[in-house]
Amino acid sequence: MSDVFADLVGQDEAVVELRRAAAAAAAVLRAGAAALVAAGPVSGDEPASTPDRVDPSTGMTHAWIFTGPPGSGRSVAARAFAAALQCVHGTGCGECPGCHTTMGGTHADVRMVVPEGLSIGVGEMRALVLRAASTPSGGRWQVVVIEDADRLTEAAGNALLKAIEEPPPRTVFLLCAPSTHPDDISVTIRSRCRVVPLRQPPATAVAEVLVRRDGIAPDVAQWAAAAAQGHVGRARRLARDPEARKRREAVLAVPRRLTGVGAAFDAASALIEAAEAEAEASVTESDTTERAALETALGAGGTGRGAAGAMRGAAGQLKELEKRQKSRATRAQRDALDRALVDLAGFYRDALTMALRAPVAPVHTDTAALAGAGAQKWDAEGSLRRLEAVLACRAAIEANVKPRIAVEAMMLALWKG
Ligand SMILES: [Zn+2]
């Protein structure tokens, strides 16, 4: 038996704060109910307090930002907190209907916004803000969770800001972003939110949860936790999915393959194509299902009166869907490529720590010997330059440089050292 915070790995301080806030939120609801009873049905007196307003000093507030590196559990934390707010005991017991439906993604008053494309548009955000303003059907809170809030467009951010500035009494916004840097979240939104910083969970904590929750053998869990560099979801995939392990091995073979200019370009192509293939595998199925569903809904092939007009409208909707799917595919490719770059950075980081004889465990235990050989050949300085080349490639892609160009530049830098 475990409560909703059990899967938030290695985040003890954040959990303490969220538990306190959930208890305060439950107290607000109880005070509201008590005030209604005290006021009585025909009392003309002003109520002693405005019980629906959430007082920030009580530990609860209406807008939160969860920050931390990818895989640290930002959305896990937001979902768990949402469950605790909907929990009938106000604790996130993990047992009651409020906890169950929130964790299962079916609670009527909890909306999870998971952007599929590269950005969250203003239309989507306006619709969301509007629905978030309605009275919670379960009598507790309307909770809106926005994953990847750093992907809000400027207009969408402004729509959200307006809602956060004048919050409906029972609405809570939970945003997730890598950091509170102005590139990730606007300064004005940040200033109205309480920040819950999550840290990269230690490998031992990640391994522990893989063993306990997913039933993975301890030695496999330890290897996967180290190789995933604190990314819980990635660690689970590596432990369970042979394809993911194969892709990782191919990436870690790159340093060995860089024997000349031609080889560097080949390695760049291989890396890009692997990311494309991985992304395609992940989106193809949902693309086909969505298109079929939309065509059915639009009654494709109809010939009755008005069918021509309906088809013109349908063409527009299909185009819209294709646009969304393309954006999702691009994002999936970027994500796959980024995972590969993080693995590669881990390899050069290992070489660097070995060259410096730093007393830290290697990220990739299975390529430690190779990293050791690199450390001898390149020394600390050469290892650092290579690590920086990988990080520069990630930064360039983040800044919208064409992935192929960024990866080719990186491979050449890795080869030249
Ligand atoms: Zn509960």
pLDDT in tens, 364-398: 988 999 999 999 999 999 999 999 999 999 999 98
Ligand 1 centre to CA of 216 (Å) is 27
- Render pLDDT for 193-219 as a digit per residue (tens, 0 to 9): 999 999 888 889 999 999 998 999 999
Domains of the chain: 12-31+54-197 (3.40.50.300), 261-293+324-416 (no CATH)
pLDDT (tens digit per residue) in 148-158: 898 888 899 99
For ligand 1, a single-atom ion, the residues with CB < 5 A are: 87, 93, 96, 99
Closest by CA to 115, choosing from 397, 338, 332, is 332
Output the pLDDT for position 42.
43
Q: Helices 74-86 and 97-104 meet at what angle, rounded to 10?
A: 150
Ligand 1: centre distance to CA 83 (Å) = 7
Q: What is the pLDDT of residue 413?
A: 96
Q: Is 330 exposed, middle or buried (0-12, 13-18, 19+ CB in 10 A)?
A: middle
- In whole angstroms, how far apart are CA 153 and each of 99, 125, 384? 32, 10, 35
* Residues found in the chain: 417
Query: What are the tens digits of pLDDT across the range 15-49?
Result: 999 999 999 999 988 887 776 666 544 444 444 44
What is the chain's mean pLDDT, rounded?
A: 86
pLDDT at residue 45, as a whole number: 42
The alpha carbon of 131 and the centre of ligand 1 are apart by a number of angstroms equal to 24
The structure tokens listed for 138 are 């379960």
Confidence of residue 167 (pLDDT cuts 50, 70, 90): confident
C-alpha 2 to ligand 1 mean position (Å): 11
Contact 60, 28 (CB under 8 A): yes
Q: What is the pTM of this model?
A: 0.71
Find the 60 Cα to ligand 1 centroid distance in Å: 18
Question: Across residues 236-241, what is the average pLDDT?
Answer: 91
Residue 321 near residue 290 (C-beta atoms within 8 A): yes
pLDDT for 50 equals 44
C-alpha dist (Å) from residue 332 to 233, 249, 335, 336: 15, 20, 5, 6
